[in-house]
């Protein structure tokens, strides 16, 4: 009940979500009472709360992992959480540990593929994707995860090749427009802006426009993709979350593909709206601060 409600929340009518979450949270608490030694019963808390609670979610999952190192999905979910927080190296380690528990688990394979692609380890991603596709030939999550990893590093050429491979399962409406890929290749910001006024995917447009130096339009898209999720009280935070339960995963904000936007002061406002800035200021810094030491990190650490 707890898992399914969290996964389906965005599909429910808004007037049903509050009651559904209340029932699901009760189910989650009951599961913890029934099997406190089983790590996976601690996962639903994360999907039944706003992503502005990333730090508490991470703490709960780490505690669950200490309780039960063989839990089927704790490492998988923790990998997704630390990836959202910008720690891709750790996310990959956790994804690989999750695969050790069950190498045939399609979601764990997809998580590892996505993280490998995002980190530019393309040959490893391709090999794991091919293996996963043999075991799960109809899996869209594998296809989606690999493409999202390519977008995270801003590799539009790779996305176009992958989306147009023979037998590709990427639907035509989800494909990156060839004209947008060409605009990025040619460094044509004006053309990319015209294309993005049409039906091009917003995520791809945000990355493309940022790469091309059109930060005004890139941040305008970021405003649509990442609304303000903060509330003054827990009840207000829940209300805001229930209005927007399917906000885009946050890992794109810490990716190489969005690095040009991080050189703009407006980036911190986006990170603040979704809770990442307060998370980072608790000492849980992303890879772009601990490894690449980008200039924005001075402002994150400054705390003002």
Predicted confidence (pLDDT) per residue in 188-223, tens digit: 999 999 999 988 889 999 999 999 999 999 999 999
The model carries a pTM of 0.91
**Within 10 Å of residue 64's Cβ, how many Cβ atoms?**
24
List, in sequence order, the alpha helices (H) in the chain.
2-8, 14-34, 44-47, 54-67, 74-84, 88-101, 106-118, 122-135, 140-152, 156-163, 178-186, 189-196, 202-211, 215-225, 234-243, 259-262, 266-273, 276-280, 287-290, 296-302
How far, in Å, are 112, 121, 144 from residue 124 at the CA level?
Answer: 10, 6, 17
**Within 10 Å of residue 290's Cβ, how many Cβ atoms?**
13
Q: What is the pLDDT of residue 20?
A: 97
pLDDT tens per residue, range 50-103: 999 999 999 999 999 999 988 999 999 999 999 999 999 999 999 999 998 888
Task: Identify whether the C-beta of residue 21 lies closer than 8 Å to the C-beta of residue 48.
Answer: yes
Instruction: For residue 110, give the nearest of 88, 74, 86, 136 by alpha carbon.
Output: 136
For the chain, give the mean pLDDT.
Answer: 93
Task: Identify whether the C-beta of residue 226 lies closer than 8 Å to the C-beta of residue 270.
Answer: yes
Instruction: Measure the CA–CA gap between 129 and 144, rounded to whole angstroms.
Output: 11
Q: Who contacts 65 (Cβ-Cβ below 8 Å, separation ≥6)?
A: 39, 71, 74, 75, 78
Domain ranges of the chain: 103-176
Q: What is the pLDDT of residue 303?
A: 62
Q: pLDDT band at residue 155, thresholds of 50, 70 and 90?
A: very high
How far, in Å, are 228, 230, 283 from residue 302 at the CA level?
Answer: 22, 21, 12
Q: What is the pLDDT of residue 246?
A: 83
Reported for 82-85, long-range contacts at CB under 8 A and 24+ positions apart, including other chains, are 82/58, 83/115, 83/118, 83/251, 84/51, 84/54, 84/249, 84/250, 84/251, 84/254, 85/54, 85/58, 85/250, 85/254, 85/276, 85/279, 85/280, 85/284, 85/286
Q: pLDDT band at residue 304, thresholds of 50, 70 and 90?
A: low
pLDDT tens per residue, range 235-293: 999 999 999 888 788 999 999 999 999 999 999 999 999 999 999 999 999 999 999 89
Instruction: Measure the CA–CA gap between 48 and 5, rounded to whole angstroms.
Output: 8
């Amino acid at each position: 009940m707890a898992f399914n409600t969290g996964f389906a929340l965005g599909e429910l009518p808004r007037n049903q979500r509050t009651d559904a979450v209340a029932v699901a949270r009760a189910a989650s608490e009951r599961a913890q009472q029934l099997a406190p030694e089983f790590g996976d019963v601690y996962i639903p808390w994360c999907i039944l709360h706003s992503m502005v609670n990333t730090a508490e979610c991470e703490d709960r999952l780490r505690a669950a992992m200490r309780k039960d190192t063989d839990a089927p999905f704790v490492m998988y979910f923790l990998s997704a959480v630390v990836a959202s927080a910008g720690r891709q190296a750790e996310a990959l380690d956790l994804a690989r540990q999750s695969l050790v528990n069950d190498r045939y688990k399609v979601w764990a394979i997809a998580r590892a593929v996505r993280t490998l692609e995002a980190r530019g380890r393309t040959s490893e991603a391709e090999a794991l994707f091919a293996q996963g596709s043999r075991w799960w030939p109809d899996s869209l999550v594998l296809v989606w995860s690999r493409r999202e990893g390519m977008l995270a590093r801003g590799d539009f050429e790779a996305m176009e090749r992958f989306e147009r491979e023979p037998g590709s399962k990427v639907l035509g409406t989800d494909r990156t427009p060839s004209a947008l890929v060409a605009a990025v290749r040619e460094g044509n910001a004006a053309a990319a802006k015209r294309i993005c006024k049409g039906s091009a995917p917003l995520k791809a447009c945000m990355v493309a426009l940022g790469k091309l130096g059109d930060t005004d339009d890139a941040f305008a898209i970021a405003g649509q993709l990442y609304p303000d999720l903060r509330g003054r009280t827990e009840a207000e935070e829940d209300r805001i979350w229930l209005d927007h339960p399917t906000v885009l995963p946050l890992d794109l904000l810490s990716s190489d593909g969005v690095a040009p936007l991080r050189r703009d002061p407006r980036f911190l406002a986006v990170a603040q709206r979704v809770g990442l800035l307060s998370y980072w200021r608790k000492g849980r810094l992303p890879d772009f601060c601990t490894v690449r030491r980008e200039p924005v990190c001075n402002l994150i650490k400054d705390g003002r």
